[in-house]
Amino acid sequence: MDRLSEALGGPRFWIKRDDCTGLATGGNKARKLDYLMAEAKAAGATAIVTQGATQSNHTRQSAAAAAKLGMACHILLEDRTGSDDFSYNANGNVLLSRLAGGMMTKFPGGTDMAQEMERLAGELRAKGEVVYVIPGGGSNATGALGYAECAHELLSQADETGLEIDMIVQPTGSSGTHAGMVAGLTVMESDIPILGLGTRAPKEKQETMVYDLAVRTLKRLDYDGQLDRARVQANCDYVGDGYGIPTDGMVEAVQTLARLEGLLFDPVYSGKALDGFLKLARNEQFAGMKNVVFLHTGGSSAIFAYPGAFGAQPV
């Protein structure tokens, strides 16, 4: 990202384009679904049940993956913002999930979504369906394997091009992407620091979720060593008023990257992480480094659910 690097005065910033992974406009969930849907297929599943917030990138890609494999997709959406805006509730990821055949039901914020998924799964099984349940964000030890693989891919690409990475920065939310990256770097004995920029939970809670899942992922990888708790670092200062609620910093960050690099980020996850990334750079948190990589987790389709945040006006 040469124009961004120049605008911020260095170091050189790079981007890992996981917004280009396919499955209904792409994003990080495709890597997780590689493993989750393989398990579902091996189990003979005819339907999947999963959950997320209203503008969940995970549910969009789950619906697309289920369509590709000929499975029904039942989506439970949790209303975490209380917004009654039409675009928020019908456009963006909601629209794309419906286009892929996802069957959606909405629940109030604070609902025990795991319990509701099991209830629905039981009803479907009683009707003869073989059901595979996927947690929110695809964030369990199976899904996180996709990002252990991503860590290997990223380091391999860096080796091929002679790129010496000083730090990796990424969004961290349901914790699967962050935990998988930590696990992958640990297995490869890489000492590259990785920083997660939070999109929903306070720092201590976020780091605990990531650490616990990284430990479970390492077990799946038959890793015998111990994971240093200090390996998991999160900065959760840019969430704003809450998950899915736009911030001025997010809007400015999304506009900046669109105008400097022609790249699109989403208002819920990658945009808030990008806000933190730019502020850290301006505050010289990357001073002394030569190459910093931002892992883009995708989700740009959610922009269309937030036209008001970006001052959308007819031409």
Collapse the DSSP code of 72 into the 3-class scheme (helix H, G, I; strand E, B; otherwise coil) and give the result: strand
Q: How many residues does the chain have?
A: 315
Tell me which residue of 294, 289, 292 sits closest to 274, measured CA to CA.
Answer: 294
Distances (CA, A) of 282 to 1, 3, 90, 289: 16, 15, 36, 14
- Phi then psi dihedrals of residue 29, to 5 deg: -70, -20
Distance CA 98, CA 75 (A): 10
Q: Please calculate the CA angle 142-174-17 and round it to the nearest 5 degrees.
A: 80
Note if 270 is an active site residue. Answer: no
- Considering the candidates 56, 175, 270, 300, report the single residue annotated as catalytic: 56
Radius of gyration of the chain (CA): 19
Instruction: Answer yes or no: are the C-beta atoms of 281 and 8 closer than 8 Å.
Output: yes
Return the structure tokens found at 41: 């297929």
Just list the catalytic residues: 56
